[in-house]
Amino acid sequence: MKVFIITPFPDVIHSFMQNSMIKKAQEHKIIDYKVLNLFDYADSPHCNIDDYPFGGGTGMVMKPEPIFRAFDEIKREFKSNLKNVIYPTPDGKVFNQH
């Protein structure tokens, strides 16, 4: 199984993958993963991946463009053989074991 992870914190993901049960799965060739650093897909010159919300309010909102660019790279690698995508969103269906 090939897993792609898009994140602004690739070191955290690598650390988890090397210090968990996932490492055993990698050693047995059950899972293969690739981490895409979201900052690599951000616009230059500042490489921002977030921005202030339109309409005001506190906090920051993720920009969609870097996510789309990273996902386009994944689609190119898989060509037309992309099986499942898990894309968590705040307004999506609750993801649980039931």
User: Above 90 in pLDDT, residue 5?
Assistant: yes
87 within a domain of the structure (yes/no) = no
Give the integer Cα–Cα distance in Å for 96 and 94: 6
- At 66 the pLDDT is 95
**pTM of the full predicted structure?**
0.78
- At 17 the pLDDT is 92
What is the residue-averaged pLDDT of the chain? 88
- Across the chain, the runs of DSSP E, i.e. the strands, are 2-7, 32-37, 50-51, 61-62
- At 21 the pLDDT is 92
Tell me the pLDDT tens digit for each residue of 13-65: 999 999 989 999 999 999 999 999 999 999 888 889 998 888 878 888 889 99
42 within a domain of the structure (yes/no) = yes
74 within a domain of the structure (yes/no) = yes
- Which domain, by its residues, includes 14? 2-78
CATH number of residue 55's parent domain: 3.40.1280.10
* Domain total in the chain: 1
What single-letter amino acid sits at 32?
A: D
For residue 97, what pLDDT band results from cuts at 50, 70 and 90? confident
